[in-house]
Amino acid sequence: MFNDIGPLELVTIIVLAVLVFGPDKLPKVIQDVMRTIRKIREFSESAKQDIRSELGPEFKDFEFEDLNPKTFLRKQLDNDDLGLKEIRNGFDLKKEMAEVTDAVHSRDGQASAPGPSGGRVDMTKKPETPGDDDRPPFDADAT
């Protein structure tokens, strides 16, 4: 229950409890707190049993811990009915990235390949304008 409380924190809590409640009332307060924790546990267990009985026999092995997404994913990855391990093992991110990099570099290499002007663009020439027959058809209804 208190897995993340260290020894120094536990001593601090005990000292504060003694200072707040006093050494005479502290045993009674501890008993009341323990009784309340027991009642809360009994209430939660009875609620879990009621939910399981209402769900029916097909959910007899249902665990409430499975509602936690991390637990659910871990259980599904261990079960492997869906073939997730094959998908995960079949996907190699480094290989995919290398293929993409090679494709980009080869495309860059083709773009910089020397052409009729030696791979350079002549900025003094005017761009070619399409002729009248290259124009798309005009649709007056579309405008």
Mean pLDDT, residues 131-142 taken together: 68
- Residue-level pLDDT at 82: 58
64 pLDDT tier (thresholds 50, 70, 90) = confident
- Residue-level pLDDT at 37: 96
- Residue-level pLDDT at 120: 59
Rounded-to-integer distance, Cα 114 and Cα 120, Å: 8
Rounded-to-integer distance, Cα 93 and Cα 114, Å: 34
Cβ atoms within 10 Å of 71's Cβ, excluding its own? 13
- Residue-level pLDDT at 34: 95
Characterise 6 by phi-psi region: left (phi > 0), alpha (psi -120 to 50), beta (else): beta
48 pLDDT tier (thresholds 50, 70, 90) = confident
Q: Is the pLDDT of residue 115 over 50?
A: no
Cβ atoms within 10 Å of 114's Cβ, excluding its own? 8
Rounded-to-integer distance, Cα 4 and Cα 141, Å: 73
Write down the pTM of the prediction.
Answer: 0.42
